[in-house]
Each structure stands twice: as structure tokens, then as C-alpha cells.
Amino acid sequence: MKSYLRRSTLFHPAIILVGAIFFAVIATALYFLAGSPGYLFVIYAGLFVVLFILWLFVVLAVQHRYSYGDDGITFCYLNIPYKKEPYHNIRAIVISNAAYNNGYGYGVNGNVPMQRHGAARAFAKEPLPFITLHTEDMQPNMLHTGMYSRELYFLAPDQTVCLGICWFDSLCELLAHTDGDIYLLEDVYLRFQSHFNTIIENGCFNKHRIQFIRNGF
């Protein structure tokens, strides 16, 4: 059973790890050259510890995954299942712009965009698409272009499940398992138009389920 990452890393973990190793090497060299831990050793060792802890948090933060089973979506952390969302609960699907802080204990009031790392120019500094699942019917007049998953979550927290990044293989599986309405923000569609068109043209689902949300509605 294929599983999908729910989020991408806020900072690229490889860059953080290289920085941590760099400071560790300097600290080790200073220790052996001086014969005892001096203040420079303490500084560089401290920088190594800070970066290593940051790297650990970044890596652990993206271990949330989801996968599709016969009767529902299973959520896992470190490959340990902790929640299941039955397909029959899903009344609507919205594809919006991805945010890291979707209301789960984050103190930041604004949206923190989830962007693709190491992307080609077409994707550079642009949010990834994100899937939210809604257990009640969605009113299209509540939606508009440019919305982030965080905004959708706060419209109805008790009725919204932030599934995760809209990987296109994942979207195909989701559409095959559900029959609710699909709302796709126009700005998200235009940014990934060729991918969405492939799904729409080749997908084995009722294409009338998809509604495009444009400015104002």
C-alpha cells in the first residue's frame, strides 16, 4: 500500500545537516589543536548542537503520512497508524494552497506557505496544492482563489480534515474512493494545469464532480 507525505520540510534537512557536520568538524579540530576545550570550541560545538536539534525536528515533522485502504484513509506517524477517516464521511474535497500551520497548536496567525524545495522555475516560491476533506457539504460562496488550507480549516474545524499535500497519484486514489464534490481553486489549477488536466481527462470518475473556484465564486 502506497503512502504519501502529508507535508514537506520547512527547511531543507540536507543543508541543515551539512552545516551541523561543518561545525562539528571545526569544533573537533579546535579541541585537538588546543588540547583542551576553549571558548571557540564551546561556540562551534554549541552551533553544532543547535543545528543538529533543528535537523532532528525538521525530519521528525515530516514523518506524518497517509494511505488509502479499502474503507478509509489511514494516518500514520513513523509508520504507526493513529487515525482512520472512513470514505463515507467525506462529503466534499477542496484543493487549495498548502500551509504548514493548519491550526494544530501553532501560534502564528498568518499563513506559512508550504513550498516545493529544489523546484524548477515554474514551481519556485509557489505553494504546493493541498487537500482538505470536509464531512459536511461545502458552500462554494465561502471559497475564493488564493485560499490556504489554514483558512479552510478555520471555517469549520470540527468538520475539516487536513489530509496533506495534493500529490497527483494521491488525488487519483482519493477520487476513485470517494463520490463527494471537488472544489479546485483556479490559481492552484493554473499553477499545476498540466497535472490536473491529465487527471481530469484520464480519471475514471464523474468529471461533473469538479467545480472551479474563481474570483468571487
**Domain segments of the chain: what residues?**
13-61, 87-213
Q: Mean pLDDT, the chain, as a whole number?
A: 85
Closest CA to 162 of 212, 86, 112, 96: 96
The predicted-structure confidence for 24-67, as pLDDT tens digits, reads as follows: 898 888 888 877 777 888 888 899 999 888 888 878 877 889 99
* Residue 79: DSSP 8-state: T
Residue found by looking up cell 474535497 in the block: 93
Report pLDDT digits (tens) over 137-164: 888 889 999 999 999 998 888 999 999 9
DSSP state letters, 98-164 = -BS-SSSS----S--B-B-TT--GGGTT-BPEEEEEESS---GGG--TT-BHHHHHHH-GGGEEEEE
Mean per-residue pLDDT for 186-191?
Answer: 93
- Residue closest to 209 by CA, chosen among 95, 72, 73: 95
Q: What confidence tier does 119 reach under pLDDT thresholds 50, 70, 90?
A: very low
pLDDT digits (tens, 9 = 90+) for 77-116: 988 999 999 999 999 999 999 988 776 555 556 777 888 6
Give the full edge-to-edge strand order of the sheet including 210-213.
160-165, 129-134, 92-97, 181-185, 210-213
User: Residue 139 to residues 88, 160, 182, 189: CA-CA distances in angstroms?
Assistant: 19, 13, 12, 19
CA–CA separation, 211 and 140 (whole Å): 9
